[in-house]
């Protein structure tokens, strides 16, 4: 019994750092996925607002409010609100709207090696972008909103 005293302490000293490193490596993709999910959701909602609003500044403001749900931690997003890039596009006939949202995050060092080989990094870190193209009006629908309101008022 005396020969094995303290062996579990040595095993824990070796095993705990390995488990923590493994946990950190598994959490990084979850953080990236969470950020991308929020970006995609904000882009989809902004596309619907763009379809109903003529003011692009209002749409950008709407997207920025939605993006505040992304934590300002380097695993999720770096650069603050000024780092978000929001591109809005509306088709000439008003039937489709496109919204692209991009931003940076700084991955953990071991995960950064993988992303560097993919070429998705720049000077601020890993650049992620989500875009949505929504058909907001069906092709068969004719007229403008005011025309439809006039029909209902008559």
pLDDT tens per residue, range 49-74: 888 876 889 999 999 999 999 998 88
| Helix-, strand-, coil-residue percentages of the chain, each rounded to 5 | 55, 20, 25
Q: What is the value of pTM for the model shown?
A: 0.75
pLDDT tens-digit readout, 62-116: 999 999 999 988 888 898 888 999 999 988 776 789 999 999 988 777 766 666 6
* Other beta carbons within 10 Å of 148: 12
Per-domain boundaries in the chain: 2-139
């Amino acid at each position: 019994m005396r020969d094995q005293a303290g062996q579990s302490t040595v095993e824990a000293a070796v095993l705990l750092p390995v488990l923590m490193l493994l946990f950190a490596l598994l959490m990084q993709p979850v953080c990236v996925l969470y950020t991308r999910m929020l970006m995609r959701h904000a882009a989809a909602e902004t596309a619907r607002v763009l379809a109903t609003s003529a003011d692009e500044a209002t749409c950008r403001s709407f997207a920025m409010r939605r993006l505040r749900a992304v934590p300002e931690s380097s695993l999720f997003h770096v650069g603050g609100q000024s780092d978000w890039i929001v591109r809005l596009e509306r088709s000439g006939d008003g039937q489709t709207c496109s919204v692209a949202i991009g931003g940076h995050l700084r991955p953990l060092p071991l995960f950064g090696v993988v992303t560097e080989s993919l070429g998705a990094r720049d000077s601020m870190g890993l650049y992620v972008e989500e875009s949505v193209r929504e058909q907001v009006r069906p092709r068969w629908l004719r007229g403008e909103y005011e025309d439809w309101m006039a029909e209902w008022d008559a």
